[in-house]
């Protein structure tokens, strides 16, 4: 007969905690006498009786066999194995929270869980284990799908608890259930009806995406149904997952089928998707975003290969060989595909071709590489360099789906993609015809792709406010600095139209002790990524500033950007939309501010008119011509500008001088090297471009550069010291000592660091 004890699940946690100390001392003595404490034993649950009348307060009993009871002098009891040596069926296996939970493991379980006594499995066992795991998973998935389909909505909402994923709770995927409890996922029932897998539900829950965005809701079912899709939705509205989720769904589906047949060897593996992006940063971000979906999706190991310039080609080739999803910029993708290692052949099997930021990829700059890639994807075309010798093999024509996404499409492109305008015959030489030619090359599987436009009314994000600051052309730096000080603790991107402006403004703001990073296409790739990482890190200074060219205008998704400043007026309306779209993402709010000189006003008005055309028409006469909506004019307090002028003058002198010195040094080095090559003596005065010139174009600038470069070290040190001193003080905007003593200033609030701590005195915020 086994020894028995009472078990009360309700009280077990506190009871177990109380017992922990006693058990510890039991354990110490058991070592000495070969006896065991109550907690050391592997108690087994006794089956519940059908009737509980005689249970008298016990919720259940546990028993143990093969032990003798040893009574202690203090009235307590110990146990001892009958056989003398405790067997593993008697000893409780170690558990992670030993003492808090009554395990009740069987012998078999305990042998599996304890690594010390685990037996090496035989080959047959491994195979069987794998098989049963697969079967179990298949059953789980099937059951979950069925349950999802059958479960009525009311029942789901009844069962839901805040902070829990109803779909997952309702289903039978135990892995998913565990994950949700650990990660406190959100309720994702709003995704019902999109026919997603349990894995994706789990991932969405963990990523806390409680409902699909409009573009996701509209596109995902179409893509899952096998259609080509052209998707248009405002910046930051979740386009990445609109195509990312169906790709992962396809991966899961394909993996299921492969498991049923035979394991596909890594070597023969071919990617399911090629995602093309216009910039390296965007490609990396797409990889990160889809990577997060994969990482949060249980048992999903889809591999992503990032194929962008500036990184090792060899590494990328290796990654590509085993990739499920390839994400890259057209230049590097083509460079690798054309290396002749059979990659084109693999790529021809992709199920999805995604053209992200399509209006950019299908226009100037990327034409040649896009053409090469598209040619290569379709069999027996020029560019199929590596696979010419396989041409005789007859393969199925490509069945890939083409997915084209952007926030902006030129009217012409949009109409053509939507199939509303006929494709022109190909005259490939002019730009417009090139675009049409490329569109043909996209080779949609359907005659008319499904066109999804979820924001026909406005291109701008809903939470975006747009303002304009007018200032003299020569004072843009001063006004930029003022706007930045108006919005402390705002993560801001400042866009310029040139690389040299990025360099200069970055140095200028650095001199003014602001936390600033630069981003432009002439930077080494690692430096580019480092700038973005530092700027976007959650631990970064909340006032961080990124000064960038339009290389950062598209797609970059950085959390918490509150403000976008256009230092230069963007060259196109689309650029304005994309730049401004770096803020007010995923339903958040944000500001876009144009700094505009008087001579730029006409261009800005035209730009605003283009961007807001539909809104303007709707607001006024729906059939009439579009009225141009002026952006809200922001009044910067003139006192602020006046007070900041001296420090800006100092910062400018320091910056100009540093840049001029760098330039002179670079030119000097170049000329010295050239002189060496020619075998002539180098005399810097003789080569000085400013000597004997100065009247023609650029002469004035050269003279200024020269003067700036001649600021001595001592002068520079003096300028820096003066600037430092000025920056150490708050900018006083009209507070006199009289006010301070007369109680007009809330000193306590000041000391608490409330309000805008760059200024001393009251500052009306720029409300718009």
Ligand X SMILES: Nc1ncnc2c1ncn2[C@@H]1O[C@H](COP(=O)(O)OP(=O)(O)OP(=O)(O)O)[C@@H](O)[C@H]1O
> Phi-psi region for residue 443, left (φ > 0), alpha (ψ -120 to 50) or beta?
left
Question: Taking the C-alpha atoms of 605, 606, 611 and 614 in order, what is their torsion angle to the nearest 10 degrees?
Answer: 100
Dist CA 141 CA 172 (whole Å) = 8
SS3 276: strand
Write down the least CB distance from residue 564 to ligand X, Å: 12
Site for ligand X in 539-568 (CB under 6 A): 555, 557
Tokens matching residue 206: 């963990």
Of 16-24, 67-75, 233-241, 266-274, the window that binds ligand X (rule: CB under 6 A) is: 233-241
Q: Which member of 212, 291, 570, 761 binds ligand X (CB under 6 A)?
A: 212
Q: SS3 letters for 23-60? A: HHHHHHHHHHHCEECHHHECCEECCCCCCCHHHCCCCE
Which residues lie below 8 Å from residue 132, measured CB to CB, with a gap of 6+? Answer: none
Of 94-102, 235-243, 515-523, 727-735, the window that binds ligand X (rule: CB under 6 A) is: 235-243
Interaction of residue 213 with ligand X, rule CB under 6 A: yes
Q: Which member of 185, 231, 238, 328 binds ligand X (CB under 6 A)?
A: 238
Site string for ligand X, 369-408 (x = CB under 6 A): --------------------------------------x-
Q: Which residue has the tokens 């099937």?
A: 142
Write down the least CB distance from residue 204 to ligand X, Å: 7
Q: Which member of 237, 300, 490, 580 binds ligand X (CB under 6 A)?
A: 237
**103 or 238: CB nearest ligand X:** 238
**328 or 555: CB nearest ligand X:** 555
Q: Which member of 148, 227, 239, 346 binds ligand X (CB under 6 A)?
A: 239
Which residues lie below 8 Å from residue 99, measured CB to CB, with a gap of 6+? Answer: 16, 17, 19, 20, 23, 39
Dist CA 544 CA 331 (whole Å) = 32
Dist CA 333 CA 279 (whole Å) = 12
**357 or 705: CB nearest ligand X:** 357
Interaction of residue 281 with ligand X, rule CB under 6 A: no
With contacts defined by CB under 6 A, how many residues of the chain interact with ligand X?
A: 18
Write down the least CB distance from residue 165 to ligand X, Å: 14
> Phi-psi region for residue 421, left (φ > 0), alpha (ψ -120 to 50) or beta?
beta
> Sign of torsion, CA 679 684 689 693?
negative
Site string for ligand X, 500-539 (x = CB under 6 A): ----------------------------------------
Of 140-148, 209-217, 377-385, 452-460, the window that binds ligand X (rule: CB under 6 A) is: 209-217
Site for ligand X in 127-146 (CB under 6 A): none
Dist CA 148 CA 685 (whole Å) = 82
Using only C-alpha atoms, what is the Rg of the chain? 35
Q: Which member of 79, 105, 209, 759 binds ligand X (CB under 6 A)?
A: 209
C-alpha distances (whole Å) from 670 to each of 656, 664, 674, 678, 731 are 21, 10, 6, 12, 44
Interaction of residue 236 with ligand X, rule CB under 6 A: yes
State phi, psi for 608 to the nearest 5 degrees.
-60, -40
Site string for ligand X, 152-191 (x = CB under 6 A): ----------------------------------------
Q: Both ends of the chain: CA-CA distance in Å?
A: 82
Write down the least CB distance from residue 252 to ligand X, Å: 19
Interaction of residue 590 with ligand X, rule CB under 6 A: no
Dist CA 274 CA 349 (whole Å) = 10
Of 13-21, 219-227, 232-240, 502-510, the window that binds ligand X (rule: CB under 6 A) is: 232-240
Of 27-35, 192-200, 210-218, 683-691, the window that binds ligand X (rule: CB under 6 A) is: 210-218
The residues facing 451 across adjacent strands are 230
Which residues lie below 8 Å from residue 539, measured CB to CB, with a gap of 6+? Answer: none
Write down the least CB distance from residue 361 to ligand X, Å: 13
Write down the least CB distance from residue 51 to ligand X, Å: 52
**206 or 239: CB nearest ligand X:** 239
Interaction of residue 243 with ligand X, rule CB under 6 A: no
Dist CA 305 CA 303 (whole Å) = 7
Write down the least CB distance from residue 220 to ligand X, Å: 10
Write down the least CB distance from residue 310 to ligand X, Å: 21
Write down the least CB distance from residue 233 to ligand X, Å: 6
Sites of contact with ligand X (CB under 6 A): 209, 212-213, 216, 233, 235-241, 407, 555, 557, 581, 585-586
């Amino acid at each position: 007969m086994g020894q028995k004890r009472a078990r009360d699940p309700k009280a077990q946690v506190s009871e177990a905690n109380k017992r922990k100390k006693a058990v510890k001392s039991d354990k110490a003595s058991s070592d000495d006498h070969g006896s065991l404490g109550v907690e050391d034993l592997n108690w087994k649950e006794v089956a519940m009786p059908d009737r509980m009348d005689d249970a008298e307060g016990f919720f259940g009993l546990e028993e143990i066999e093969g032990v003798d009871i040893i009574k202690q002098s203090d009235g307590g009891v110990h146990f001892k194995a009958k056989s003398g040596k405790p067997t593993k069926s008697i000893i409780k296996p170690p558990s992670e929270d030993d003492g808090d939970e009554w395990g009740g493991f069987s012998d078999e379980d305990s042998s599996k869980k304890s690594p010390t006594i685990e037996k090496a499995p035989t080959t047959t066992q491994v195979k069987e284990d794998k098989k049963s795991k697969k079967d179990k998973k298949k059953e789980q998935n099937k059951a979950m799908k069925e349950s999802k389909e059958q479960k009525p909505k009311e029942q789901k909402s009844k069962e839901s608890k805040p902070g829990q994923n109803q779909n997952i709770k309702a289903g039978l995927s135990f892995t998913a259930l565990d994950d949700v409890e650990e990660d406190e996922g959100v309720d994702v029932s709003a995704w019902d009806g999109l026919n997603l897998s349990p894995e994706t539900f789990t991932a969405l829950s963990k990523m806390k995406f409680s409902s699909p965005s409009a573009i996701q809701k509209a596109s995902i079912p179409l893509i899952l149904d096998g259609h080509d899709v052209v998707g248009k939705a405002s910046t930051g509205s979740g386009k990445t997952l609109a195509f990312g989720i169906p790709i992962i769904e396809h991966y899961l589906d394909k993996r299921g089928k492969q498991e049923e047949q035979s394991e596909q060897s890594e070597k023969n593996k071919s990617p399911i998707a090629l995602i093309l992006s216009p910039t390296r940063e965007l490609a990396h971000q797409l990889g990160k975003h889809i990577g997060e979906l994969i990482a949060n999706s249980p048992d999903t190991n889809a591999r992503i290969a990032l194929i962008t310039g500036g990184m090792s080609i060899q590494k990328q080739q290796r990654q590509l060989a085993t990739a499920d999803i390839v994400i890259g910029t057209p230049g590097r993708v083509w460079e690798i595909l054309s290396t002749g290692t059979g990659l084109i052949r693999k790529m021809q099997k992709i199920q999805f071709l995604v053209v992200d930021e399509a209006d950019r990829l299908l226009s100037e700059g990327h034409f040649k590489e896009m053409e090469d890639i598209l040619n290569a994807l379709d069999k027996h075309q020029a560019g199929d360099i590596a696979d010419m010798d396989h041409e005789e093999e007859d393969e199925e024509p490509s069945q890939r789906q083409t997915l084209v996404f952007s926030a902006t499409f030129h009217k012409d492109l949009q109409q053509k993609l939507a199939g509303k305008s006929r494709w022109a015959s190909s005259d490939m030489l002019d730009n417009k015809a090139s675009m049409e030619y490329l569109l043909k090359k996209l080779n949609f599987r359907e005659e008319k792709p499904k066109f999804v436009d979820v924001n026909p009314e406005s291109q701008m994000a809903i939470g975006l406010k747009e303002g304009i600051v007018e200032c003299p052309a020569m004072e843009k730096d001063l006004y930029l600095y003022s706007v930045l000080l108006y919005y402390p603790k705002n993560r801001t991107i400042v866009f310029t139209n040139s690389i040299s402006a990025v360099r200069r403004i970055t140095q200028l703001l650095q001199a003014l002790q602001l936390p600033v990073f630069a981003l432009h296409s002439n930077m080494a790739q690692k430096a580019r990524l480092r700038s973005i990482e530092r700027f976007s890190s959650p631990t970064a200074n909340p006032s961080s500033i990124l000064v960038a060219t339009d290389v950062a205008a598209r797609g970059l998704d950085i959390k918490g950007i509150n403000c976008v400043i256009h230092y230069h007026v963007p060259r196109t309306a689309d650029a304005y939309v994309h730049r401004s779209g770096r803020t007010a993402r995923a339903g958040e709010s944000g500001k876009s501010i144009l700094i505009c000189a008087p001579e730029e006003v006409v261009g800005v008005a035209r730009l605003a008119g283009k961007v807001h055309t539909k809104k303007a028409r709707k607001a006024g006469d729906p059939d009439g011509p579009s009225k141009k909506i002026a952006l809200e004019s922001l009044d910067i307090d003139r006192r602020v500008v006046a007070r900041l002028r001296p420090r800006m003058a100092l910062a400018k002198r320091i910056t100009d001088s540093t840049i001029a010195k760098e330039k002179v040094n670079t030119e000097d080095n170049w000329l010295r090297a050239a002189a060496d090559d020619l075998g002539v003596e180098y005399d810097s005065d003789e080569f000085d471009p400013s000597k004997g010139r100065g009247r023609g174009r650029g002469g004035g600038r050269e003279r200024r550069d020269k003067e700036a470069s001649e600021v001595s070290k001592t002068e520079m040190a003096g300028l820096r010291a003066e600037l430092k001193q000025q920056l150490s003080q708050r900018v006083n905007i009209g507070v006199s000592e009289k006010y301070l003593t007369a109680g007009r200033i809330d000193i306590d609030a000041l000391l608490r660091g409330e309000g805008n701590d760059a200024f001393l005195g009251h500052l009306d915020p720029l409300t718009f």
